[in-house]
Amino acid sequence: MRIAHIGIAVKDADEALKIYQEVLGLEPSSIEIIENQKVKAVHIPVGDSSIELLESTSPDGVVAKFIEKRGEGIHHIAIEVDDIEVTLVKMKAQGFQLIDETPRMGAGNMRIAFIHPRSTNGVLLELCQPTK
């Protein structure tokens, strides 16, 4: 397992990216629009992990609602796992509240599932597994 990325909710991903480019000299590896999640995701590699800037593509998107309620900032931490289905079964058996009972497709061609922050000390946890 490893931290795959840290998701940061932003109002304007292009503007937020400038901080990482101009101050830290980091460049994005990809920019994706994930239609089913109503989000634009900008991936910025940092060592073995990355920062994922998340901009809502719709006023009713999850990221837009997050920013409206909490403001811009850390949205989630993503942990890459070897077998997402097995991990979800174990977590459910241990009483974790799953947002996603089964994995779905996310950015970067990853299978993803979210665990509710009530179960993880207030942090939205994303499990992810690369597709084969």
H helix or E strand, kind and range, residue 85:
helix 84-93
d(CA 3, CA 39): 21
Are the CB atoms for 124 and 63 separated by under 8 Å? no
Question: Using one digit for the tens of pLDDT, what is the confidence trace for 45-100?
Answer: 999 999 999 999 999 999 999 999 999 999 999 999 999 999 999 999 999 999 99
Q: Is the dihedral of CA 115, 56, 69, 19 positive or negative?
A: positive
d(CA 30, CA 16): 15
* pLDDT tops 90 at residue 1: no
What domains are defined for the chain?
2-130 (3.10.180.10)
Q: What is the pLDDT of residue 72?
A: 97
Q: What is the pLDDT of residue 109?
A: 86
As a whole number, mean pLDDT of residues 16-20 equals 96
